[in-house]
Structure 1
Amino acid sequence: MKIKTLLATSLLAGTALFAGNYNVDPTHSSADFSVKHAMISTVKGNFATFSGNFVYDEATKTLKSLNGTIQAATIDTGIKDRDDHLRSADLFDVAKYPTITFVLDEIKGDKAYGKLTMKGVTKPVVLAFENGGAATDPYGNKRVGLGLTGKINRTDFGISWNKALETGGVIVGEEVKIDVALEGILQK
């Protein structure tokens, strides 16, 4: 019995040796979104400044943890007036709520379960998860690629400003599509 316990402990310890801490490389990552405008077209944007870290077990090819922070004031849709309005108290209220955060709870198959916090409201979300795997770059750095995509309802997070259209409907859709591509660098 002791030999089995020792063997199991050794295997678990060996697996832990392959798990590494990775910092998100913002030059090879993106935090993008899209939302319907006037119910007829789609506006796309991104957040320019974000950071994060995760633990990835290369032996089992599994993500163990993930934490990310977006600087809400860096929202960019390519139109200054619209971006200023998005930063205002009507929508993201970046003066009061400067960050958006995501904390992973668990991965089950191709789904990532976690908690998203925007405008001071934390809600559970389920996102599609893509494990891009690991590679070593030409400079000897170990890298891992991950993807998270999905949809949220912005009003669930208190981002509810809108205007009615004469033709029916509203100016800004409630459903927001999220597309996050992360590349992390192993910390030595």
Structure 2
Amino acid sequence: MTTTAATTVQLPSGTWTIDASHTEVGFVARHLMVSKVRGTFREVSGTVEVAEDVTQSSVEVAAQIASVETGSPDRDTHLKSADFFDAEQFPAMTFRSTSFDGATLAGDLTIKDVTKPVTFDVEFGGVGQDPWGNTKAGFEATTTVNRKDWGLTWNAAVEGGGVLVSDKITITIDVQLAKQA
């Protein structure tokens, strides 16, 4: 257990796996600098190893690039192309934690074989049992990154100034974990 000013995390130690059907890895980018485009990666997997001292826990998450969805098939195809994620050459985006204090999760985010440190703000949702007796836990983690740090540099100038896609991207992970026996 760990306690912070904002939250108390009480999670039984052991191995937890991501419940992909109740998890979303999403992102938000500005489009034309006037509106937001939201996307998700539909295929996500990972594990959390919870230690007795929760600050010694570890997290590993992978999102399959080919599973990106934004509500526009043409945009999804463009995001999978070499202009952005290059899904054929780099099929997954990964995160591996380096530290956790109960409110922030630090680690290494790898996109297109470029690894950079990021820090997520974490909100603990709680622990409960589903109707079949499985123990589940929920978290939300959010960070903001500059996509150019990972070589995601494609853009287009727009009339009147500005660009088509923002450099600043917000990443949000809404995760449900399942305790392993």
1:34 is aligned to 2:28: yes
- The residue number in structure 2 matching 1:120 is 113
Between structures 1 and 2, the one with greater helix share: 1
1:162 is aligned to 2:155: yes
Task: Return the offset for 1:19.
Answer: 1.1
1:19 maps to a residue whose letter is S
Count of aligned residue pairs for this structure pair: 170
Task: Return the offset for 1:73.
Answer: 0.8
Once residues 85 and 63 of structure 1 are traced to their aligned partners in structure 2, the CA distance between those partners, rounded to angstroms, is 39
Aligned equivalent of 1:73, options 39, 55, 66:
66
**For structure 1, which segment, 103-112 or 44-53, has the greater mean C-alpha deviation from structure 2 after superposition?**
103-112
Give runs of aligned pairs for residues 48-67 of structure 1, distance below 5 A.
Answer: 48-57=42-51, 64-67=57-60
RMSD: 1.5
Aligned equivalent of 2:101, options 108, 120, 125:
108
1:176 is aligned to 2:177: no
Q: Which has the larger radius of gyration?
A: 1
Q: With structure 1 as the length reference, what TM-score do the two structures score?
A: 0.86
Q: Percent identity?
A: 38
Q: Which runs of 5+ in 2 are unaligned?
A: 1-11
Task: Return the offset for 1:20.
Answer: 1.4
Q: Which runs of 5+ in 1 are unaligned?
A: 1-17
2:21 maps to a residue whose letter is T
Once residues 55 and 132 of structure 1 are traced to their aligned partners in structure 2, the CA distance between those partners, rounded to angstroms, is 18
Task: Return the offset for 1:48.
Answer: 0.5
Q: Is the 8 A contact 1:54 1:63 kept in 2?
A: no
Q: Is the 8 A contact 1:88 1:94 kept in 2?
A: yes
